[in-house]
Amino acid sequence: MWNLKPIPVDQIFDWIRSFGYTLDPATFETVIQHLVTIDPGNAIFPLIPLFLDEENRLMPETFDTDDIARTDMRAECANTLAALAGSGIECPPMTEDLAHRCFQYLVDVGFFPEPQQQRDRLLHRSSSMA
């Protein structure tokens, strides 16, 4: 199901930074170069074919604001919205606080490192490259 009030990717990046992670912008090509070096144990490994598919290159279009503007979110979610009608279950508007709670959950279950661990790892990596 889509959130019927999507948040611009730049806003999500700001929330990731405000949670404490270091996040620097990278070109799609740079991301591709890094993806091909990922260990099979990494959680994103099964998704790599989505990024490397030369014909469909899904990521840039997924976040393209013009594509999002042309998408009828209610039509895309019609079956889910119909099933939830009258249940009181709704997708809440995304806020910085809710995003931080989602990030914290991902930290708590071990999917994300603590922000300080991520910053330390980046610092160690940049000092070993010098």
DSSP structure string for 20-72: T-------HHHHHHHHTT--TTSTTGGGHHHHH-TTT-HHHHHT-HHHHHHS-
Q: How far apart are alpha carbons 99 and 105 in whole angstroms?
A: 10
Q: How far apart are alpha carbons 111 and 104 in whole angstroms?
A: 10
Whether residue 68 is contained in a domain is answered as yes
Integer Rg of the chain from CA? 18
Tell me how many domains the chain contains.
1
Whether residue 77 is contained in a domain is answered as yes
Whether residue 1 is contained in a domain is answered as no
Whether residue 2 is contained in a domain is answered as no
Q: Supply the pTM of this predicted model.
A: 0.64
User: Which tokens hold the place of 49?
Assistant: 């074919």
66 pLDDT band, cuts 50/70/90, is: low
27 pLDDT band, cuts 50/70/90, is: confident
